[in-house]
Amino acid sequence: MIERGFALTGTCGVGCPSRWRVYTLIALTPPFRTGPFGRKQSHCCSPLGCAEYIALRQLHYACKSCDMQLNEKGRQLHLKDGRVLEAELIIAADGRDSSLRSMAGIKVTGWEYNQDGLVATVTTELDHQFTAWQRFLEEGPLAFLPLKNGQCSIVWTLSSETSKHHLSLPDKDFLEVLEQASGGILGKMLEVGPTLRISIYVFNLQNNYIGQRFAVCGDAAHAMHPLAGQGVNAGLLDAATIAELVIQTGRKNRPLASPRFSASL
């Protein structure tokens, strides 16, 4: 039996289904992410301020979607653990390497920056004063983002060659090159946590944000340079826009699969 509703995959993007219709919001989030939309019942705080409650009836997390089929009633989402979810509309929020986007035949055009973002948590000698510090260096900026516990999260944009070199250094030597690059703004670099190297490439979608009974949102739809610092904002606005369309469609009692709904996506 197909439930009225739509499935989300990824980090539990959001739709604020209207209370006037029964929707099952099925969200897949690999490690459960709490957050404004992660709780069972949460007040939707989409930028549109729609005071709708999300009846988050089913939350499948720590599972991966591995296949997706289109049928006359909607789409089926096959999970790695064998479960099959059915929904009238699938919204993919599974990030820049979205497998669902490829399954839906939506292509991307993009380009490599030959840059990486080195991301780590560091303990500094001086207090960050809840200030984000950014230093523009030859290969790219070094940003210290303040964390509540007094540490900093760094995003160090480097050429891929340099980032591989820095990643291979023992912690003590890594802290030394980091302190040098920081210009001493936060004093000595005392400790560094696990360091992640993220290759930076950007893309836009070649054709469309939507397929049949399918839409992408967030980084699955557009990936921009992390230093733009706009990825989350753009993703939230995608989610709010889709939520608004779902509510309007609900109010007019139109099926989510109506061509007019797809056209307005």
Which residues of the chain form contacts with ligand FAD (CB under 6 A)? 9-11, 28, 30, 64-65, 93-95, 99, 117, 119, 155, 198, 218-220, 226, 229-233, 235
The smaller minimum CB distance to ligand FAD, of residues 85 and 220, is found at: 220
- Please give the single-letter amino acid code of residue 167: L
Closest CB to ligand FAD among residues 99, 160:
99
H or E segment to which residue 158 belongs? strand 152-159
Cβ distance to ligand FAD smaller for residue 32 or 53: 32
H runs (alpha helix) in 124-224: 160-168, 171-182
Shortest Å distance, C-beta 105 to ligand FAD: 16
In the complex with ligand FAD, the residue whose CB is nearer, 18 or 79, is 79
CB of 261 to ligand FAD, least distance (A): 22
SS (H, E, C) 137-157: ECCEEEEEEECCCCCEEEEEE
For ligand FAD, give the closer residue by CB, 220 or 256: 220
Min dist. Cβ of residue 153 to ligand FAD (A): 9
Q: How far is the CB of 11 from ligand FAD (least distance, A)?
A: 4
> CB of residue 259 vs ligand FAD: minimum separation in angstroms?
27
Task: Give 70's contacts (C-beta < 8 A, 6+ positions apart).
Answer: 212, 213, 214
DSSP assignments along 49-113, one per residue? ----EEE--EEEES--EEEEEEETTEEEEEETTS-EEEESEEEEE--TT-HHHHHTT--EEEEEE
